């Protein structure tokens, strides 16, 4: 598949993840009487990946996440020359999605942006968890997210079903990580909302690039050894 089509798929996939995932928190989680709550937001993020994995996974590989791209590069099956274009497309998709979400949410009378589904540590953590707690949890969660992605898409895995465990894994991650960091495991998803939340949220973005990328890279190295990824196609 040619690069423009692949980058378009990554842009739209990351847009959908950010718009629908963060939108579930911004627009629906606390809505009186009809709010989907904590469980609903977790499920929404998993469903974004599940739906887009089947929609465009065959086009771009279905990363929708800078950490996934870096992890698959570290593991061997993704070309180094494609890493930066993928990351640019993913971040652009997340920023545009956050802009659209902001435009929709701000149309409600008396709406206040607040954290705008951003990620944070310390005072910006939903549960007020400190820096090291948030760092460790993001590294570990992203490691296992990539571990599941690599395992379910490697040779010998059941063909055509990878989107289901990957989506469920992201749901599981949100179930335990929302109280800690508001669940990132995705630098692009973190960047879009933070730009609109502003201030301190932008100042803490470095953690939500460092930790997911580190966890993903570690998973890539483990996957290279465990699943013989050097023989796996890049998309």
Please state, in angstroms and rounded to a whole number, the distance separating the CA atoms of residues 164 and 180.
Answer: 25
Split at pLDDT 50, 70, 90, the class of 34 is low
Of 232, 229, 177, which Cα lies nearest the Cα of 208? 177
pLDDT value at position 96?
98
What whole-number percentage of the chain has pLDDT above 70? Answer: 94
Of 11, 194, 167, 1, which Cα lies nearest the Cα of 86? 11
Q: Note the helical H segments in the chain.
A: 3-16, 23, 37-60, 66-75, 83-105, 131-153, 163-181, 187-197, 200-203, 207-227
pLDDT value at position 70?
98
- pTM for this entry: 0.93
pLDDT value at position 110?
84
pLDDT in tens, 112-123: 888 999 999 999
Structural domains in the chain, sorted by start: 3-107+115-231 (1.20.1080.10)
Q: In angstroms, how far is the first alpha carbon of the chain from the final one?
A: 9
pLDDT value at position 29?
79
| Burial of 137 (C-beta count, 10 Å sphere; 0-12/13-18/19+) | buried
Question: Between residues 227 and 125, which one has the greater pLDDT?
Answer: 125
Could you tell me how many helices (H) and strands (E) the chain has, helices first? 10, 0
pLDDT at 10 over 70: yes
Average per-residue pLDDT in the chain? Answer: 93
pLDDT in tens, 124-165: 999 999 999 999 999 999 999 999 999 999 887 777 899 999
Split at pLDDT 50, 70, 90, the class of 32 is low
Task: List, in order, residues 6 or more apart from 31 with CB less than 8 Å away.
Answer: none
Dihedral in degrees, nearest 10, Cα atoms 180, 195, 31, 14: -80
pLDDT value at position 172?
98
pLDDT in tens, 14-25: 999 999 999 999
pLDDT value at position 233?
36
Residues 22, 101: contact at Cβ < 8 Å? Answer: yes
Please state, in angstroms and rounded to a whole number, the distance separating the CA atoms of residues 49 and 163.
Answer: 7
pLDDT value at position 210?
98
pLDDT at 232 over 60: no
pLDDT in tens, 56-102: 999 999 999 999 999 999 998 899 999 999 999 999 999 999 999 99
pLDDT at 48 over 80: yes
């Amino acid at each position: 598949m040619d690069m423009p089509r692949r980058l378009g798929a990554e842009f739209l996939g990351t847009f959908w993840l950010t718009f629908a995932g963060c939108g579930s928190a911004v627009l629906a989680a606390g809505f009186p009487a009809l709010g989907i709550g904590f469980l609903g937001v977790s499920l929404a993020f998993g469903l974004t990946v599940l739906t887009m994995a089947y929609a465009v996974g065959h086009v771009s590989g279905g990363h929708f996440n800078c950490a996934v791209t870096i992890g698959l590069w570290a593991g061997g099956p993704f070309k180094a020359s494609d890493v930066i274009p993928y990351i640019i497309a993913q971040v652009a998709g997340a920023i545009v999605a956050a802009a659209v979400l902001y435009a929709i949410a701000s149309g409600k009378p008396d709406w206040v942006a607040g954290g705008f589904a951003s990620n944070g540590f310390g005072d910006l953590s939903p549960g007020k968890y400190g820096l090291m707690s948030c760092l460790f949890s993001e590294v570990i969660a992203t490691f296992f997210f990539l571990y599941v992605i690599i395992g379910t898409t490697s040779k010998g895995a059941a063909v055509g079903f990878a989107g289901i465990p990957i989506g469920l894994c992201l749901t599981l991650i949100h179930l335990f990580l929302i109280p800690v960091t508001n669940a990132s495991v995705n630098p692009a998803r973190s960047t879009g909302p933070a730009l609109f939340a502003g201030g301190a949220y932008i100042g803490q973005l470095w953690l939500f690039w460092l930790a997911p990328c580190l966890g993903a890279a570690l998973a890539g190295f483990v996957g290279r050894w465990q699943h013989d990824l050097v023989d796996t196609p890049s998309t």
